[in-house]
């Protein structure tokens, strides 16, 4: 019997993603728990595993956008695992496949500076016929967009009653910390209060108050200009 492999729900606000890499190919025998493919969304990258053992038949190519609930492969669980062949001596440089672990995968689309383009960015580049080499940015700004940091800070202040400083510190020091990137921001609330948190040893920041006072900072020290 063929068992359908569907795109699972990976978040409340996520309705689609991209099958970035197939770790197994059509005709391969897979065991339950083996990583089948990597699903990339605008927020997370997730390995989708086989729920049963059998022979895999992939239905979509790498790089295709798929919807939650869409069938992307089938597994024929009536097939039995092939008998193990006598092990062959591997020479230096041979790739070794480890059951349950993804094998070497094709290189994903990258920009000219070596950064892998996310599904959202790839869609915009394709739809607008843009050249990634001609698009510049500063740092890991995409994570600020992905986590809608401005909206999240405002939400924490409105619904949790946090101060601007507490809300901004949480986003920079907690939500972005797992990505191991140096990040900082300058946040201003409706009353003109300013917070400039960062998660590195030091970061250059600067701002002007409603009174016209200028401040710059490098580490935790703030200097009035």
CA–centroid distance for 28 within its chain: 27
Q: Which residues pair with 28 in a beta bridge?
A: none
Helix (H, G, I), strand (E, B) or coil at 54: strand
Higher pLDDT, 109 or 175: 175
**Mean of pLDDT values over 134-156:** 69
Residue 196 CB contacts under 8 Å (≥ 6 apart), including other chains: 184, 185, 186, 187, 205, 207, 217
Asked about 91 being catalytic, the answer comes back as yes
**6, exposed or middle or buried, with CB in 10 Å at 0-12, 13-18, 19+?**
middle
**38, 41, 58, 91: which is the annotated catalytic residue?**
91
Of 153, 156, 39, residue with least CA distance to 102:
39
- Determine contact, residues 186/205, Cβ cutoff 8 Å: yes
Of 50, 51, 73, residue with least CA distance to 61:
73
Q: Would you tell me how many other CB atoms lie within 10 Å of the CB of residue 76?
A: 15
pLDDT at residue 55 tops 60? yes
What structural domains and CATH numbers belong to the chain?
2-76 (2.40.50.100), 141-224 (3.60.20.30)
Task: Place 120 in a pLDDT band, splitting at 50, 70 and 90.
Answer: low
Which of 131-135, 165-169, 181-185 is the least confident region? Answer: 131-135
């Amino acid at each position: 019997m063929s068992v359908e492999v569907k795109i699972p729900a990976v978040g409340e606000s996520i309705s689609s993603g991209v099958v970035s890499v197939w770790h197994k190919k059509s005709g391969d025998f897979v065991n339950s728990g083996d990583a089948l493919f990597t699903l990339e969304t605008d927020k997370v990258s997730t390995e989708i595993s086989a729920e049963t053992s059998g022979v895999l038949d992939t239905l979509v190519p790498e790089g295709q956008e798929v919807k939650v609930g869409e069938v992307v492969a089938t597994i024929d669980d009536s097939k039995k695992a092939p008998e193990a062949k006598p092990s062959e001596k591997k020479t230096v440089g041979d790739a070794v496949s480890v059951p349950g672990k993804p094998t070497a995968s094709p290189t994903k689309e990258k920009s000219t500076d070596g950064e892998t383009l996310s599904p959202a960015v790839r869609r915009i580049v394709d739809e607008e016929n843009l050249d990634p080499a001609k698009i510049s940015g500063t740092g890991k700004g995409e994570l600020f967009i992905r986590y809608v940091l401005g909206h999240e800070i405002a939400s924490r202040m409105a619904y949790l009653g946090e101060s601007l400083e507490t809300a901004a510190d949480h986003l920079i020091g907690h939500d972005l910390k797992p990505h191991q990137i140096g990040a900082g921001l300058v946040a201003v609330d409706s009353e003109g209060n300013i917070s400039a948190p960062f998660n590195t040893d030091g970061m250059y920041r600067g701002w002007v108050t409603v009174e016209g006072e200028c401040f710059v900072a490098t580490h935790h020290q703030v200097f009035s200009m």
